[in-house]
A and B are shown apart, each in its own frame.
Chain A
Amino acid sequence: MINKEGKVKIPSGCAITGIIDKNGNKFNGEDIIKSIALMHERSNGLGGGFAAYGIYPEYKDFYALHIFFDDFNIKIQTEDYIKKNFDIINSESIPTKKNPKIYDPPLIWRYFLNPKKDNIEKKEIDEKEFVFKCVMEINKNFKGAYIFSSGKNMGVFKGVGYPEDIGKFFLLDTYEAYIWTAHGRFPTNTPGWWGGAHPFTLLNWSVVHNGEISSYDANRRFVEMYGYICTLKTDTEVITFLFDMLIRKHNIPLKKAIKIVVAPFWDDIEKEIDPSLKKELKSIRSVYASALINGPFSIILGFEDGILALNDRIKLRPLVVATKDAKTYISSEESAIRVICNNPDKVWMPAGGEPIIALLKKEYR
C-alpha cells in the first residue's frame, strides 16, 4: 500500500504561478487557469489548486473554513466540534461542476465562522491563535476531515487532477479576487489525496511551492517546538507554518522573516560594514538557524496584503517576475506569464534568495 501524505514525506516537483493587482481591482479566475494550464507538463495530474484573496466580501469578517470530509459521519462529528467553538454564520457545500477528468472528490464544504468569545477568553489567547489551535485539532484528531483553508475573505480550491481541470471543477471563473495563486503538482509517489494538493494554507497564509526542501525535518522539528503539528509532512506545510510562526507568533517584520528563511551567507555577513546590521544578521542566523529553508524551492506566499515570491539561496528552482501597470505576475516559466500578459512592462528573474514583495497599495488595503 502506498502511504498518503502524513504518513511519509513525499518529494514533488511543480509549477507555480501568481497574480496580484496592487490597486485591489478584482478579476476572475480565467487568467490564472490559463497561465497554469500552459505549464501542463510541469504537473502530472496528481494535484492542482488555487488560492484567491478578496472572494468573500460579504463574509469578510468571518473565518472561511474550507473542509474535505471523507463521509457524512465525520462531517457531523466535525461540525459538533465547530459548533462548540464557533458561531456558524453560514455553511454550504462548495459549488462544483462535474468534470470527466476529476473523479472521487470528497465532500467539500465551507463554513463562515465567528469564534466564540468565551472560549477564546478561557484559553487566554488571541483570536487567531484560537482559530489556529482549532484547525490543528481537527486536522490532527478528526480522521477523515481536513481543513484546507481557514482565512478571512480568502479561500483555497484544490484537489487531485491537473490544475486547469480543478479550476474548472470549482467554477473559478465565478470568483473575483485581487490575488490569485496556482499550483500544478508533480509528486513522485502518492495515491493522490485531495488534502495533499497545494496551495497549503493556515489562517490567511497560503503557500504554493515548487521544490523539495532538504531541511524539512530540521524545520519541522523546530516549528513543532512552538505548537505546530505537521499532519501532512509536506514541505509546503512546514513553510507555511514557518511564516505563520515568524510573522504572527513572533511578530517579526516580513523583510526580517525573509532574512531568516533565506539567510545571507556567513561570508557576506562577515563583509558587512554596518556593525548593527552585522549584529542583527548574526543574531538572526543564531536564533533561527533551524528556520533556514534549505534545498531547492521557489514559493509564492499569499496573504491579505499581497504576495511574496522567493527562491532558495542558490536558486535551484525557476522563478520569473513580470509587471504590467498595477499587476505583478510571478511564475515558474516566462511563457506562463506571456500567455496572459503578452506585453509586460518589465520581465526579470530574481536572484537566489532575493525576495519579490508585491503589496496592495496602502489605500486599497
Chain B
Amino acid sequence: MSLNFNTPLFEIIRDKNKCIQCKVCVRQCANEVHWYSSYENIVNSDNNKCVNCHRCVILCPTKAITIRKHRLEFRNNSNWTSNAIKEIQKQADTGGVLLSSMGNPNKLPIYWDKILLNASQVTNPSIDPLREPMETKVMIGRKPDKLKFNKQGDLITDMPPQIELNVPIMFSAMSYGSISKNAHEALARAATKLGICYNTGEGGLNKDFYKYGKNTIVQVASGRFGVYKDYLNAGVGIEIKIGQGAKPGIGGHLPGKKVGADVSVTRMIPIGSDAISPAPHHDIYSIEDLRQLIFALKETTNYSKPIFVKIAAVHNAAAIASGIVRAGADVVVVDGFRGGTGAAPTRVRDNVGIPIEFALASIDQRLREEGIRNSASLVISGSIRNSSDIVKAIALGADAVYIGSAALIAMGCHMCRSCSTGKCNWGIATQQYDLVKRLNPDIMYKRLVNLISAWNHEIQEMLGGMGINAVDSLRGNKLMLRGIDLNETELRILGIKYVGE
C-alpha cells in the first residue's frame, strides 16, 4: 500500500545565503533529514523525518537553519484537533498502541505556577546567603520517633541508615538501556561532585560505575534486571520501583535492538532480547508482600541502607504511602503525572495519575495525622522544572526531589520527545555508538554540576528571603505558600491559604 497519510510536523527553513554546504547537518542528523545534492551543490531536507531536536540548528556553523511548526493545517476544529486526527491516522496505519516519550505535554494546570512564596518584610529580617550560613543539607531515611539519652547524657538511640544530600535534589531513575552509558557517567560524576545521589533505574549498574557507589541509589523493579547481591550493596540506598508517573500501572519494555553487548551484561539478559518489566512485581500482589521484599533487601544489605519505595501519584496515593511507611520503607517516592519516560503508551501517559502537588500535600498531611511522617522521608518527582518548584515542594512537605527531565535537558535534551526511536541525536536516549559518543561526559557532568549549583544558590536566596537559614525549617512550612487562581477544594487539599489571606 503506498497511501501514506503522514504529513510533516515541522518545516526546516534553510537560509541559502548562509548555507556553506559544509554538510555538518547531514552528518549529524540520525533521522537522515538532510541530504546533499552534489549535482546542485545544495543541502536539501525532508521535513517528514524531522523531530525538531535542534541538533542541526545548534551545530550549523553559520546558523543557516531554523525549524518551525509546519504550516499545514487542518480545518479549524476545537474538538477534532490536528493531533486527534493524526493519532487516528497513525493507528489506522499501524494497528498499534500509540507510544510517546517524556512527560505529559497536555494543557493541564501546573499547580507550581499557582503557588506563590513569602518573603520577610520589617517584622523579621531576610537573611543574605552571601553573608550568613544558609543550609540546604538534608538527611534522607527513616528517623526514630525520638532520641534517647542515658543518665550521663550520652545518646543511646541507634540511628537507622541515612543518606546525606548536600542539596535536596537527586537525579531520578533512568536505566542504562533507556539512556546511554555516557549519560549515566555524567549523572554519576555530577552526583559525586555535588554530594547528592543519582539513581540507576532498572537496568543494573555498569561495572565501570561501581566506584560512584557512595552517590548511587540502585533500583529494583519488576523485571529485576541486573539485580544481585553486589548490585544491591553497591549504592547507599535501594529503591523498589512500583510505578512511574508517566505510566502508572504499566510495565516497561526495552526493545532488543537497544540490548547490545554491554547492556546485556549489565542487565544480565541475552544480547538482542527484549527486556520486559511486568506491570506489577510478580512477588508483590499486596502490601504485605511489599514488606517481605523490603525486609529481604534489608537483610541482604545488613540493614545498612534505606529502602525507597517509588509509586506513581494515583488517586489514593495518601493511603498507599501510609501503607508503604508501615511496611517498613524508609523513603517514599511519589512520581507525578507529568513525570518523564523513555516510552509509554500515549493514552496512559496523558490520562492516568494526578498532579504531584496534590499527591504530595495529601501524603504529607496523611502521614502527619497518623504520626508517622518522621518514619520516612518523602521524595517527589514528576516535572520539577526549576528551583522555585523545589522550594514549593519542600514547603508542601517534601524532604527532597528527584529530577529527570531537567537533568537530561542540561545534557542536551531538547524535548523532541522521540526517545523511543533510539536515535537520540544528543546521545542521551540511544545505544548507537556514534550517537552515544556525542554526549561527552567530561562536558556534560560539568553542566549538571552547574545546574544544581545554580539551583542551590536560588534556593538559598529564596530561603534567606523568607528569613530561614536551614531548609529543615521550610519543610512542611505551608505558611510560606499562598495559592492564586485556585478554588477552595484545591486550597484545602494543598493546605494553603489564598493570596491576601
- Residues of A near any B CB (own CB < 8 A): 9, 11-13, 188, 211-212, 214-219, 221-222, 224-226, 249-253, 255-256, 263, 265-267, 276, 279-280, 282-290, 292-296, 313-314, 316
Which of B76-84, B121-129, B336-344 interfaces with chain A? B121-129
Q: Which residues of B contact A288 (CB under 8 A)?
A: 147
10 nearest A-B pairs in the assembled complex, by CB-CB distance = A215-B473, A294-B473, A289-B472, A214-B467, A217-B479, A11-B123, A286-B139, A218-B477, A212-B124, A250-B146
Q: Which residues of A contact B143 (CB under 8 A)?
A: 286-287
A235 → chain B closest CB, angstroms: 10
Contact of B124 (CB < 8 Å), options: A9, A214, A251, A279: A214
Scan residues 470-501 of chain B and give those whose CB is less than 8 A from a CB of chain A.
470, 472-480
Task: Please judge, given known A-B contacts A226-B371, A287-B143, A292-B470, whether A316 and B476 are in contact too, CB under 8 Å.
Answer: no
Is B16 among interface residues, defined by CB-CB distance under 8 A? no
Nearest B residue (CB) for A267: B133
Separation of A252 and B124 alpha carbons in the complex (Å): 30
A317 → chain B closest CB, angstroms: 9
Nearest B residue (CB) for A226: B371
Task: Please judge, given known A-B contacts A214-B468, A267-B133, A276-B154, whether A251 and B144 are in contact too, CB under 8 Å.
Answer: no
Q: Which residues of B contact A251 (CB under 8 A)?
A: 146, 148-149
Contact of A296 (CB < 8 Å), options: B125, B146, B477: B125
Q: Which residues of B contact A316 (CB under 8 A)?
A: 124-125
B498 → chain A closest CB, angstroms: 13
Q: Which residues of A contact B120 (CB under 8 A)?
A: 214, 295
B473 pairs with A214, CB closer than 8 A: yes
A221 pairs with B139, CB closer than 8 A: no
B123 pairs with A314, CB closer than 8 A: no
A28 → chain B closest CB, angstroms: 34
From B141, B144, B159, residue with most partner A Cβ within 10 Å: B159
Separation of A138 and B307 alpha carbons in the complex (Å): 43
Q: Which residues of A contact B472 (CB under 8 A)?
A: 215, 218, 263, 285, 289-290, 292, 294
B373 pairs with A225, CB closer than 8 A: yes
Q: Which residues of A contact B432 (CB under 8 A)?
A: none
Q: Which residues of A contact B124 (CB under 8 A)?
A: 11, 211-212, 214, 295-296, 316
B196 → chain A closest CB, angstroms: 15
A292 pairs with B371, CB closer than 8 A: no
Separation of A249 and B146 alpha carbons in the complex (Å): 9
B165 → chain A closest CB, angstroms: 11
Q: Which residues of A contact B373 (CB under 8 A)?
A: 225
Is B153 among interface residues, defined by CB-CB distance under 8 A? yes
Task: Please judge, given known A-B contacts A218-B472, A253-B149, A313-B469, whether A225 and B133 are in contact too, CB under 8 Å.
Answer: no
Contact of A314 (CB < 8 Å), options: B141, B157, B469: B469
Is B155 among interface residues, defined by CB-CB distance under 8 A? yes
Is B301 among interface residues, defined by CB-CB distance under 8 A? no
B147 pairs with A287, CB closer than 8 A: yes
A2 → chain B closest CB, angstroms: 13
Is B466 among interface residues, defined by CB-CB distance under 8 A? yes
Q: Which residues of A contact B66 (CB under 8 A)?
A: none
- With A249-B146, A265-B133, A283-B159 given, name 13 new contacts (CB 8 A): A11-B124, A215-B474, A217-B478, A217-B479, A225-B371, A226-B371, A256-B153, A266-B135, A280-B154, A284-B147, A285-B472, A289-B470, A292-B470
Separation of A214 and B466 alpha carbons in the complex (Å): 7
From A9, A218, A313, A314, residue with most partner B Cβ within 10 Å: A218
Q: Which residues of B contact A276 (CB under 8 A)?
A: 154-155
B329 → chain A closest CB, angstroms: 17
Scan residues 127-178 of chain B and give those whose CB is less than 8 A from a CB of chain A.
127, 132-133, 135, 137-139, 141, 143-144, 146-149, 153-155, 157, 159, 162
A285 pairs with B139, CB closer than 8 A: yes
Separation of A225 and B475 alpha carbons in the complex (Å): 14
Q: Which residues of B contact A9 (CB under 8 A)?
A: 479
Is B374 among interface residues, defined by CB-CB distance under 8 A? yes
Separation of A313 and B127 alpha carbons in the complex (Å): 12
Nearest A residue (CB) for B370: A225
Contact of A218 (CB < 8 Å), options: B127, B137, B149, B474: B474
Separation of A66 and B486 alpha carbons in the complex (Å): 43
Separation of A206 and B270 alpha carbons in the complex (Å): 70
Nearest B residue (CB) for A11: B123
Is B385 among interface residues, defined by CB-CB distance under 8 A? no
CB-defined A-B contacts under 8 Å, sample of 19: A212-B467, A214-B467, A214-B477, A216-B479, A256-B147, A263-B472, A267-B133, A280-B155, A282-B159, A283-B157, A284-B147, A286-B143, A287-B143, A287-B144, A292-B472, A293-B473, A295-B124, A295-B473, A316-B125
B470 pairs with A286, CB closer than 8 A: no
Q: Which residues of B contact A280 (CB under 8 A)?
A: 154-155
Is B368 among interface residues, defined by CB-CB distance under 8 A? yes
Separation of A121 and B469 alpha carbons in the complex (Å): 44
Contact of A283 (CB < 8 Å), options: B123, B147, B368: B147
Nearest B residue (CB) for A211: B124
Separation of A294 and B153 alpha carbons in the complex (Å): 25
A294 pairs with B480, CB closer than 8 A: no
B146 pairs with A287, CB closer than 8 A: yes
Q: Mark B362-392, 1 if CB is under 8 A from A, else 0.
A: 0000001001011000000000000000000
Q: Which residues of A contact B141 (CB under 8 A)?
A: 286
Q: Which residues of A contact B135 (CB under 8 A)?
A: 265-266
Contact of B475 (CB < 8 Å), options: A13, A212, A218, A293: A218
B154 pairs with A287, CB closer than 8 A: no
Nearest A residue (CB) for B471: A289
B481 → chain A closest CB, angstroms: 9
B44 → chain A closest CB, angstroms: 59
A295 pairs with B467, CB closer than 8 A: yes
Nearest A residue (CB) for B133: A265
A312 → chain B closest CB, angstroms: 9
A216 pairs with B149, CB closer than 8 A: no
Separation of A267 and B472 alpha carbons in the complex (Å): 15
Scan residues 434-483 of chain B and give those whose CB is less than 8 A from a CB of chain A.
466-470, 472-480
Q: Which residues of B contact A296 (CB under 8 A)?
A: 124-125, 467
A188 pairs with B368, CB closer than 8 A: no
Contact of B132 (CB < 8 Å), options: A284, A289, A314: A314
Separation of A265 and B147 alpha carbons in the complex (Å): 19
Nearest B residue (CB) for A9: B479
Separation of A252 and B151 alpha carbons in the complex (Å): 10
B123 pairs with A286, CB closer than 8 A: no
A162 → chain B closest CB, angstroms: 20
Nearest B residue (CB) for A292: B472
B245 → chain A closest CB, angstroms: 26
Nearest A residue (CB) for B368: A225
Contact of B368 (CB < 8 Å), options: A224, A249, A279, A282: A224
B119 → chain A closest CB, angstroms: 10
Q: Which residues of A contact B371 (CB under 8 A)?
A: 225-226
